[in-house]
């Protein structure tokens, strides 16, 4: 059984985590947090750090 994640080969861990968050609805919650508080959630920063720490193979 194949599971399609939508993550392409060559993407780092941060890209994979971002895709999972989008599918599970965490991204929508983060956007709502940003709207309510006026502060950035830091998602892009965390994604860049994870990509740098665990790049694609």
Question: What's the helix, strand, coil split of the chain in %, to 5?
Answer: 60, 0, 40
> pTM of whole model > 0.85?
no
Question: Taking a C-beta distance cutoff of 8 angstroms, is the pair 53, 13 a contact?
Answer: yes
Which tokens hold the place of 18? 């971002």
Confidence check: pLDDT of 5 > 70: no
Q: What would the pLDDT profile of 23-54 be if each residue is shown by its tens digit?
A: 999 999 999 999 999 999 999 999 999 999 99
């Amino acid at each position: 059984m194949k599971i399609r994640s939508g993550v392409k080969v060559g993407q780092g861990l941060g890209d994979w985590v971002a895709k999972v968050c989008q599918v599970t609805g965490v991204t929508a919650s983060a956007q709502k947090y940003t709207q309510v508080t006026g502060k950035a959630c830091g998602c892009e920063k965390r994604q860049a750090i994870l990509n740098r720490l665990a790049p694609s193979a």
